[in-house]
Structure 1
Amino acid sequence: MVHQKILDALRTYTDPFRITKGNDFFLKHFDPGDTLGLKMDKQVALQLLQRHSKWLAMEQEVLYAQDSWSVLLVFQAMDAAGKDGTIKHVMSRVNPQGCDVVSFKQPSDEELSHDFLWRYSTKVPERGHIGIFNRSYYEEVLVVRVHQHLLDAQKIPPVRIGKNIWNERLADIARFEDYLARQGVAIVKFYLNLSYDEQKRRFMERLDNPDKHWKFSTADVRERRYWNDYMHAYEEAIRATASEAAPWFVVPADNKPFTRLVVAAAIVEAVEKLDLAYPKVTQEQIKDLAAARQELNAEPIDGATGDRPKGDPDH
C-alpha cells in the first residue's frame, strides 16, 4: 500500500523541481544553487540520504518480487555536474541483482546503422528491475543538436533531414516514453542543473588535484564553449517531453549533498506511487509449502549424523 506519510515527507524535496508540463518551462527560473533555504551540513544531508536510500532498498525488494513494473532513471547533465557520484550515493543500498546501469558512449557502427532510438530501446530495464541511463536518448537532441555534423554519421536519407528535425525527434522521444509508460515502465528523468561558474570551479579543482586528473578531459573545456547552445537545447528538450508519465526533475547541482537528497527523494516517491505489494500465494503454492514443511519436520533431529541423499553436495 502507498505510505502517505512517506510521500508527504518526500514532496518537500520533489515538488519544487518537478516538471510535468513544459509549456511554461524556462531554465532561467531554476537556480542551480537552490537548497530550499535549508542550511544543512553534510552530516545532516547524509542522514537524510541514508533514510531515503533505506526506503528505496525496501521498495526495490518488492519491485523485484512483484516482477510487473520496471523503473527507468534517466540522468542528463553538463560535464562535472556530478551524475556518477549521485548515482553511486543514491543507489548505494540497492541490490545490484535488480539494478542495471548503462553509460552510453559514442555510438558504434552497428548502432549508427539503426534508427536513433534503437540502441537505447534495447537497454530498457526488464520487469522487476531498476534501469539507470547515465546519459540517454536525449543526447540525440542535445549533443547532436549542438554539433549537427554528427548527423552525417547517422546515415539518414538527406530528404529526411529538414529544418524541423529536432522538433520531430523530440516528438518521437515523447511518444517513445508514452509507449514505455503504458507497458509498465515508470520513467523518472533528471537534469542536474549546474551553473557555469560552478562548472569552472570543479574543473579547476580537478586540474589542481593530481588524484583527479583522470576525471579531466580537454574535450570538457571545448564543450564549455557551447554552454548557451546546450542550455537552449536542454530547455527545448524538457519543454517538449515533460509529462505526468515521464516527469523531469530540474535538480540544483551546485550543492552535491542537496542534489543527491533531491534525486533520492524523487526516486523513492516514484517507486512508492506504484503501490507495490509482494505477490499473493496461491492455494496450490500453500499446499506445496505445507508439504515442504512436513518433509523437513520429518527429518531426524540430528541430521548431521544421518544418511543423506546421494545427490547432496555435502554427502
Structure 2
Amino acid sequence: MAFPTHLSADTAHNGHVIGELHDSRPPRSTSAVSWGAIAAGAAAAAALSLILLILGVGLGLSSVSPWANAGVTAATLGVSTIVWLTVTQLLASAMGGYLAGRLRTKWVDTQADEVYFRDTAHGFLAWAVASLATAALLTSVIGSIVGGGVQTGATVAGGATVASTTTATGIAQNEEGGSMAYFVDTLFRRDAGVASAPTTTQPGTEPTTTTAAPGPSADPAGTYLDNERELAEIGRILAFHKLSEPLPEDDVRHVGQLVAQRTGLSQADAEKRVTDTYARAQSQVREAETDARAVADAARKASSTAALWLFVSLLIGAFCASLAATFGGRQRDA
C-alpha cells in the first residue's frame, strides 16, 4: 500500500503531522522531587546550624566563670542553652526549607493541593537531610548528651558498691596519704596523758616504765616490721567487712589488744577507740556514697531534660522547614 507523499492542509496544523496525534508512546513526565533543591537547602541549613552552634558555645563559655558570684548560674546556662538550640533549629530549618521550595522546578498542569504537598515534602526532606548531616558531624556531642544520662543511670545502683570496694582496698593496702589509712593511723595515736605500760617492780626499788617510741629508727631490730604487719592485719580486718556492717566483737577485741600494746591504753579504752574510729570511717563512707548518688541523679535528670528539649527543638525545625518551603514554592510559581 502506498502512502501519500504530499500533505494537505487537513493533514498538517502548525507544523505537526496528524500522525503524531496517534503516537502510542506514554507522555513525558517530570519527577515530583527536585533533589538538587533539597540538597541545596539541606547544605545551607547544616552550615547555618554549625555556625550558630559554634556561636552558642562561644557565648556560653564567655558567660560562665569558675569564681564565686561571677558569671551565670547553672540553671540560667541550662535555660539559655535550650533557647539557643531552639532558635538555631528555627532559623536554620526555615532557611533550608525556603531554599528547597524556591529552587525546585516548576510543576506544570499540577493541582494547587498537590503543589502544596510537594513543597511541604521538599521542606521536610531538606530538614531531614540537614539533620542527618549535622548528626554525622556532631556525633560525639549528641552521644554525650543522650548517652551520658544512660551511663550515669546505670552506674547509680553500683556506685555505692564501687565506693565501698575502693575504700576497703585502700585500707587493705594501707595507702600512704589515703583517708582510710588515716583512720588506721589514728588507732595508734598515743595520748599525752597516757603513760606507757608499767613494768613489774621489785620490793625496795623504784618503779620503772618502758617507753616504746613510735618511730622506726628507735625500734629494735624487727619491731618495725612487726608494726607494719599489725597495720596490714588491721587493714585486712576492716576491708573484710567493707565498712557496711558493724565490726564483730572478736575483731574489736583483737584490734583493741593491738592498740593497747602500742599506745598503753587499757583494753576497754582501746576497744572504745576502735569502735569510735570504725564508726567515723563508716560515716565518711556513707557520706561519700550519698554525694555520689546525688551527683549521679543530677546528671541523669540533666541529660533527660536535654534530650527532651532536643527532641522538641527538632520538631520545631521540621515544622519551620516545611512551612518555609511552601512560601518559597509559592514565590517560585508566582
Q: Which bin holds the TM-score, normalised by the shorter protein?
A: under 0.3
Q: Structure 1 or 2: larger helix share?
A: 2
Which has the higher Rg, Structure 1 or Structure 2? Answer: 2
**Structure ranking higher on relative contact order (CA contacts 8 Å, 6+ apart):** 1
What TM-score do the two structures reach when normalised by structure 2? 0.22
Q: Structure 1 or 2: larger strand share?
A: 1
